[in-house]
Structure 1
């Protein structure tokens, strides 16, 4: 709104400089970009991200399988043994040596993270594996994918708006520098004669 008021104020003002009008037009163009182009860009990026993430959700749900593993023995616990996708803050999981049967029927064993507080040999728990029994992260769910898509679109819109504002500030900075340079040159021409007799001052 300030840009529109600026344009209206400078429309017929006798003190208007060309740079004043240019600054108002730059501000108006930036405002229109932020209100019209940045949201559209955000929607496009969000839609593209949503499509990609939906395909990823579908692929992961087709290729990742939940199987039951059996604890062989507990391994040393580490503060780093946290699943970032499922664990709450401060939720430590037990690191155990376990064995399980892969979806293709092969027997597997190895160290995994178990959602058991005090694991004992023979305890059973669920893990996610690929078709060949290799442990993988749990598949992405649709709600998480949608959240990531919304965040991507919002981030793109905000980045575009910030870029437009940065460009506006750069243009205004260059205009102000040129204005000061012209003022300095005018001052250099007029300044030395000020106050002297016979100079018409």
Structure 2
């Protein structure tokens, strides 16, 4: 399996904006230069539903979403959605009795399909603070690798942040940290070999 695909290397942001009843569909999705914009009619689709469906639609087109950014929404909600989306988490604010505190739950046998459930009325700033620990409980191995990547970004002084962010997303997407690191090292070795070959003077006949 090839992990370093074009889609994963060039992920896009998804922006969500509230529309109105005049739009043709409950959720309208369009490309806006290097990002995608989704507008939703809150009378026909909740924010949670709009975000999930928009990401699913893009995924069906082999488009990877790097982050979800809310436009024109509460700042705490916007920050929460963005942080959760960077961990490939959907967000669901629920009034169900089974959720008594913010919790990340894997929805199926596929660990990358997970949701951050938040009880209705819970302080969103507090939910954001709890997100890292809750994610670590749900996906401990991946969380450990992401922590080491964040430390590496600090140690490198920001020089290779983008490359490390890509590695982090690949680990989240594939749930295969060892496979990701192996393929990244193979690519780096190939690059070094090509550079060494290009720098070797040609031998005269």
TM range (shorter): under 0.3
TM-score for the superposition, normalised by structure 2: 0.23
The structure with the greater share of residues assigned to helix is: 1
Higher relative contact order structure (alpha carbons within 8 Å, sequence separation ≥ 6): 1
TM-score for the superposition, normalised by structure 1: 0.23
The structure with the greater share of residues assigned to strand is: 2
Larger radius of gyration: 1
